[in-house]
Amino acid sequence: MKDSRRSRLFLGLLLAVALVLITVDHRSENTPVFGPLRTIVTSAFGAVERGVSTVTEPIGGFVGALAGAQGSREQITNLKAQNSKLEGELSSQRIDKRRSAELQAMLGLSGLGGYKVVPAQVVARRASPGFEDAVEIDAGTADGIKPDMTVLNGQGLVGRVVRATASTATVVLLCDPASSTGARIENSGELGVVSGLGANGNSGRRIMFRLLDSTLPIAAGTRLVSFGSQQGVPYVAGVPIGVIEKVEATPGELTRTAYARPFADLSSIDVVGVVVEGPKRDPRDALLPPAPKPAAKPKPKPKPATSILPGQQAPPQIARPGTANPETGPGNTVPQNTRPENTAPENTAPENVSPEDTAPENVAPGNGPTTDRDDRGPAEPVRGRDGETSISDDEAA
């Protein structure tokens, strides 16, 4: 009896403490007590998570390859092809390669929009039901990351930073129910709000778009870009968000509701970029991937792309001629573009005299870099082409 009463008392005490904690923390974020506590514990756990992540990341990659195969037939064939390759290849090598492709895509996108990004890698994730959808990345205030910065990857918007310690930062994803983002319909100025659906988002439609003007029709397939907040906090303008898949009939409501699929695959994000400085000009629809309806007037600013942080300056510059070549090399007749590409094969392969003399720019650059970057995903060259042509338009004009 005594033991039971004691234990019940104890339980009551602990529950009361938990409730007090919840109440205090709910009322005010980062109170003088909890703020430092959180910071200390977060940095300690963050370091551990970084360590564990580096050890265990092949596991995720392996299971990812397996689980992805169930999805579609195309992926099964992909996996089979990969399997044969895998026999002679270490899995870690493959993961590195995929990661570098992701990084290239991300840097390509950010270069296109003129964002200054800090690349980072996801080390931990939380997704228990009823709680936030958030990830931890391995870059922090030491890399210039502050709360309320936009996070994107090679496909589109991922989320925003909510908390940053010296070496890690917490990112709340786009699909978290508590996150909402200003969004704009492509090719128009129509505005709306994108909010996460959390666990309610089924079959990949993880975000909800509410168009503020309820009289306008929206069609499935319409694509959304971020509208951008004041001074780019927390969201910079022009980042692709997603494509609308289902429009809900909401007669009599003040807004129109639609369900959309984010461009970024939020269930398996790995390499992300944190935008530490937004573009000087809104890139409008330039960052959207080419689709059945190509974006009408892509107008990116080419200058900021070159002024990316010193560490990241090289990759986008390599990425863009490389990705541009396989498809637009022949079609692109603007001299500004082909000239730098033309010099590259000259330097690398001087013995290749005859194609240089006889064949013009179109053939030579198509050969060299394409073989180097064969293993890149299919989406990136297309995007690179879009950016390349648009830059040439700008420079020609």
Partner 1 sequence: MPRILLTTLLVLTALVLQVTVVNRLPVSVVPDFVLLVVIALGAIRGPVAGATIGFFSGLAADLLPPADHALGQHALVLCLVGFTAGRWAERWPLLTVAACAVVAPAFALAVSGLLGDPGIDLRTFEAVWPMAALVNLLAAPVVVWAVLKVYGPRPEKATAAAVPGWRRA
Both tokens assigned to 46: 């963050």
Report the residue number, 4 or 215, with the smaller CB distance to partner 1. 4
- Asked if 134 is part of the footprint of partner 1 (rule: CB under 8 A), the reply reads yes
Is residue 144 close enough to count as binding partner 1 by CB under 8 A? Answer: no
**Binding of residue 183 to partner 1 (CB under 8 A):** no
CB of 226 closer than 8 Å to CB of 236:
yes
Residue 48 touches partner 1, criterion: CB under 8 A: yes
Distance CA 60, CA 57 (A): 5
Residue 37 in contact with partner 1, rule: CB under 8 A = yes
Q: At 193, is the secondary structure helix, strand, or coil?
A: strand
Q: Of residues 77, 80, 89, 131, which one binds partner 1 by CB under 8 A?
A: 131
Question: Three-state DSSP class for 196?
Answer: strand
Q: Which is nearer to partner 1, 125 or 373 (CB)?
A: 125
34 lies in the binding site for partner 1 (CB under 8 A):
yes
**What are the CA-CA distances from residue 57 to residues 69, 75, 208, 332 (Å)?**
19, 21, 32, 41
Nearest to 58 by CA among 85, 87, 98, 88: 98
Q: Which is nearer to partner 1, 33 or 353 (CB)?
A: 33
Among the residue ranges 164-172, 296-304, 328-336, 337-345, the one whose residues contact partner 1 (CB under 8 A): 164-172
Closest approach, Cβ 25 to partner 1, in A, equals: 4
Alpha carbons within 13 angstroms on the beta-carbon side of residue 12 total: 6
By CB under 8 A, residue 356 contacts partner 1: no
Chain residues 187-226 in contact with partner 1, contact rule CB under 8 A: 196-200, 202
Residue 247 and residue 218 in contact, taking contact as beta carbons nearer than 8 Å: yes
Binding mask 251-270 for partner 1 (x = CB under 8 A): ----------------xx--
Q: Cα angle vertex 36, ends 35, 40, to 5°?
A: 125
Two tokens at 134? 């958030």
Burial 348-375 (b: 16+ CB within 10 A, else e): eeeeeeeebeeeebeebbbbbbbeebee
Q: Is 117 in the site for partner 1 (CB under 8 A)?
A: no
Give 36 or 294: the residue with its C-beta nearer to partner 1. 36
Q: Is position 142 an interface residue for partner 1 (rule: CB under 8 A)?
A: no
Q: Which is nearer to partner 1, 14 or 291 (CB)?
A: 14
Shortest approach of partner 1 to residue 269 CB, angstroms?
9
3-state secondary structure of 15: helix
Q: Which of 149, 172, 183, 237 binds partner 1 (CB under 8 A)?
A: 172
Q: Please give the structure tokens belonging to residue 41.
A: 């514990």
Specify the 3-state DSSP secondary structure of 92.
helix
Give which of 233, 108, 105, 104 is closest to 161, Cα–Cα. Answer: 233
Assess 49 for contact with partner 1 (CB under 8 A). yes
Q: Does the protein bind partner 1 through residue 123 (CB under 8 A)?
A: yes
Region at 204 (left for phi over 0; alpha for psi -120 to 50; beta for the rest): left
Closer to partner 1 at the Cβ: 167 or 187?
A: 167
Between 174 and 225, whose beta carbon lies closer to partner 1? 174
Residues within the interface to partner 1 (CB under 8 A): 1-4, 6-7, 10-11, 14-15, 17-22, 24-26, 34, 37-38, 41-42, 45-46, 48-49, 52-53, 56, 59-60, 63-64, 67-68, 122-132, 134-136, 162-163, 168, 170-172, 176-178, 196-200, 202, 267-268
